[in-house]
Structure 1
Amino acid sequence: MGNSRPVVSIVLPARNEAEGLRRTLPAIREAFPDAEVIVVDDGSTDETAVLATTHGATVLSSPYSMGNGAAIKRGTRAAIGEILVFMDADGQHNPADIHSLLAKLDGGFDMAVGARDGGGQANVGRSLANALYNHLASWMTGHKVLDLTSGFRAVRANRFREFLHLLPNGFSYPTTSTMAFFRSAYPVAYVHISVSKRVGMSSHISPVKDGVRFLLIIFKIASLYSPLKLFAPTALAFFLAGLGWYGYTYATHHQFTNMSMLLFSAAVIIFLIGLVSEQITSLIYRRDV
């Protein structure tokens, strides 16, 4: 790093990641000897905290697991760096790739995200789900989103702290922060990276339990960024359904039925809810200049 570069704080949320930290922390120190390293011990029952302390990291310990997003928020509040780097503690991310992320910030971006290659996805199901999220986010923002759920990213601390109140305590902080940056017109860049096989325990994400949660993320993306892009097509679908049903009942019985009225009313109500949601979203992201 050049002497002109701001102080970098590297934050690693960790829950029972002693094995991963055994490989990750020395690599971070080798690549960034002057960086502040913060390990947020999210209620671990192994030697995560002891190992992190041994390697000179600042350790923030929780008495019980609060979630990945909560760990990110705790680390962000404690960090002193002007640049924050978030990465997993399981050995999947290569600390040498941080240089590429920081180069994007030096080039004028406010967030740089490590976009995983195909081999970096845990399984086919997760790969397909991430592809769906990326496609939806790209449509919502009008920008190409290469990896919406990647937890490996570098951000300007002052920008990121604006959105701490929006971040969930669970696993979807990358989604929320990415959409928040796009919504606020803070430029986001992507850097292609390779991801190694995780070390230690298996992923904390349960495909069955978290399937519904990931589905809800899709709706959260829409409501977080531009609610009308979610509500307007839904309202249109109800309106067309009502129009189609009215056409059928008029052609067969010359009647305007209660079902048609219900569908038309639902279309109007959904559209109005979308308008109100759009105004609320605008207020959330409003910044007094």
Structure 2
Amino acid sequence: MRVSVVLPAKNESGAIEHTITKIMNLKLVAEILVVNDGSTDNTAELAEKSGARVISHPYSKGNGAAIKTGARNASGEVIVFMDADGQHDPADIPKLLAEIDKGYDLVVGARQKGSQASVGRGIANKFYNNLATYMTEHKVEDLTSGFRAVRAEKFREFIYLLPNGFSYPTTSTMAFFRAGYSICYVPIHASQRIGKSHIKPLRDSIRFFLIIFKIATLYSPLKMFFPIAILLFLMGTGWYGYTLYEYHRFTNMSALFYTGSIMIFLMGLISEQITALMYKEN
């Protein structure tokens, strides 16, 4: 197989040369493609000097946009996506490719204990994994890991779904599950990044809730909306029972619970049909 490595990079001059050199020393890949996402330092120059092919965005479009640019321009049958900041060890690439050889379509490097950037992000990722496991009924070990190997042709089927921001791993994983493609996980250890982190607490908090909705809407919305609808229905029934016993009447609160239950169920049903149309070619 011809293998391409795609490195989205924004102001990664401190790590880019070291990362590219370690990948080249493996002698396993046909090309290293660095997508320079509007860097204001000399990331692009250092990447070219190290032997990588560089494609530059005229301004920063986001990590997901860089991934899409890399996927469209990579020449390999298999694409390895990884960070350019030193977190991911190129020595783990052969482990991912070995699983691709076995017939898997997507192989994800699952970060082990101690590899999370912070306690908060570790808790959030565990929540994502558990929710995705519930939605797909398959064990999801690391939903948000950006270190992954994938069959290029199948990944490109879902480029139109990928956001320009940071949640491309979530989107692509759930899309592969929905399409019935084979996914597996390989344990890896992620190191401390080199250089300044792009994490922002407020933005990441908003992203937390957006990813939860992505998990639901990209796989089976009804599976998430239906339990909420049932809960509201039971709350309405419980409140109605209480008011009927105490006051011998049906109250507006019970009506609100019942109406909310029906609305959420119908929302989930409509979303389920829209999701099915998204994957109609698969």
Judge same fold: TM > 0.5, yes or no.
yes
Q: Indicate which of 110, 113, 126 corresponds to 1:131.
A: 126
Equivalence map 1:97-246=2 (5 Å): 97-201=92-196, 203-246=197-240
> Match of 1:225, SS?
coil
> Cα distance, 1:146 vs. partner?
0.7
User: Percent identical across equivalent pairs?
Assistant: 61
> Match of 2:79, SS?
strand
Which residue in 2 is equivalent to 1:259?
253
Question: 1:160 & 1:40 partners in 2: Cα distance?
Answer: 17
Question: 2:246 & 2:29 partners in 1: Cα distance?
Answer: 78
> Match of 2:194, SS?
coil
Which residue in 2 is equivalent to 1:89?
84
> Cα distance, 1:55 vs. partner?
1.2
Question: 2:214 & 2:76 partners in 1: Cα distance?
Answer: 30
Question: 1:216 & 1:237 partners in 2: Cα distance?
Answer: 22
> Cα distance, 1:79 vs. partner?
0.7
Q: Indicate which of 269, 274, 278 corresponds to 2:263.
A: 269
Unaligned runs of 5+ in 2: none
The answer to whether the Cα contact below 8 Å between 2:112 and 2:187 also exists between their aligned partners in 1 is yes
Unaligned runs of 5+ in 1: 1-5
Question: 1:28 & 1:208 partners in 2: Cα distance?
Answer: 34
- TM-score, scaled relative to structure 1: 0.95
Question: 1:199 & 1:79 partners in 2: Cα distance?
Answer: 26
> Cα distance, 1:42 vs. partner?
0.6
Q: Does 1:15 align with 2:21?
A: no
- RMSD of Structure 2 on Structure 1 (CA): 1.1
Question: 2:7 & 2:102 partners in 1: Cα distance?
Answer: 25
The answer to whether the Cα contact below 8 Å between 2:8 and 2:83 also exists between their aligned partners in 1 is yes
Question: 1:145 & 1:261 partners in 2: Cα distance?
Answer: 39
> Cα distance, 1:99 vs. partner?
0.5
CA offsets per residue over residues 89-137 of structure 1, 9 Å max, x none?
Answer: 0011111211010110100100000011112111111111111111111
Question: 2:29 & 2:117 partners in 1: Cα distance?
Answer: 32
Task: State the one-letter code of the partner of 1:210.
Answer: D
> Match of 1:19, SS?
coil
> Match of 2:277, SS?
helix
> Cα distance, 1:147 vs. partner?
0.6
CA offsets per residue over residues 16-35 of structure 1, 9 Å max, x none?
Answer: 00111121010011013652
Task: State the one-letter code of the partner of 1:225.
Answer: Y
Which one is further off, 101-110 or 26-35? 26-35
Which residue in 1 is equivalent to 2:53?
58
Count of aligned pairs between the two proteins = 282
